[in-house]
Amino acid sequence: MYLINSFRFQSAPSASYLLDSYSSEGGYSMRKISSTATNCIRVRRSSDNAEQDIGFVSDELDTTSLLSFVGANDGYVTKWYDQSGNGRDAENFTAVTQPRIVNSGVLETKNTKPAIYFNNDWLKHFGQVIPLATNPFSYFTVSSHETANDTGAVFKSRDAAQSGGGNYVANFHDRRTDKVNFLLSASGTFYRADLSVQRNTSDYTLLSGFVDSSNNMSAFDNGATGTTDTYSGTYTSNVLMIGDPTTGSGSFQLVGHIGEIIILNTDESANRVAIETDINNYYSVY
């Protein structure tokens, strides 16, 4: 009589990745959030401006390869790879406005995890449309803004042909009493869903926002319920900007760290707690 151990023939259990469970339109993270992702970021080192792709080790940024490549110099992110599978990588082809990942040989971190530091810097997805221009959609971001009583854009999505403010969708990290989380400018009118409370600290905050198929907006911060709004009118959106490359009165440049941005073309408010828990378990935001 032969006994067969059924466990012997099973493949090893695979790790659970967030974007394997939720189809995303844009996924940017310092950890591996998709089983198909291979590269995390592309980095330029300040010593000779050479660039190298950096991937993952044990589902986290390969910091050994990163620090070996950069050495005692500065390292700047030239590309943040989109892990959604849609190829919507965010790039910056201009050296002086690229965000930083290594500062004089020291890894940029927030809450002990690798984090990209923006100091009026930005990354853009120049090509295919990130479909924030139609409802429903959802976003989840992990960011800090390190200037008191100020606000910075974690991301903006707008029509590239617009000049000035125009119509757009934005996720702000707002430390002001205005406490804006989710702003939508449609047909020249602003609609907004705010934080639950003013958070005038330099700490990481997990921000999420949702639009359902009836134009109803809602927002949450560190799992707490913020305010709601309902927009009307139209807007267009065909370029995604991480940070804010614009200048002038309509500019909200970020001075702080970003660890993760996930954009979905579905209303994931019913799955909000599960997604936020996955993110918070890694970044220890709250």
Partner 1 sequence: MIITGYKYNTEAEAIAARKQCADHYGLPVSPDDVTQYWVDYQEASLNSPVFWYIVYDESIDFLGTPTDFEVVE
Q: Which residues are near partner 1 by CB under 8 A?
A: 42, 44, 48-51, 78-79, 91-98, 163-164, 247-250
**Residue that is written with structure tokens 């330029």 in the block:** 44
Cβ 50 to partner 1 shortest distance, Å = 5
CB nearer to partner 1: give 97 or 228. Answer: 97
Cα separation of 102 and 107, whole Å? Answer: 5
Cβ 162 to partner 1 shortest distance, Å = 12
CB nearer to partner 1: give 6 or 249. Answer: 249
Cβ 245 to partner 1 shortest distance, Å = 9
CB nearer to partner 1: give 116 or 133. Answer: 116
Residue 153, both tokens: 């854009």
Cβ 14 to partner 1 shortest distance, Å = 32
CB nearer to partner 1: give 91 or 108. Answer: 91
Q: Which residues of 11-42 are buried (b: 16+ CB within 10 A; e: fewer)?
A: eeeeeebbbeebebbbbbbbbbbbeebebbbb
One-letter amino acid of 50: A
CB nearer to partner 1: give 53 or 212. Answer: 53
3-state class (DSSP) for residue 22? coil
Cα separation of 25 and 130, whole Å? Answer: 7
Cβ 247 to partner 1 shortest distance, Å = 7
Is the N-terminal amide bond of 136 cis, ω within 30° of 0? yes
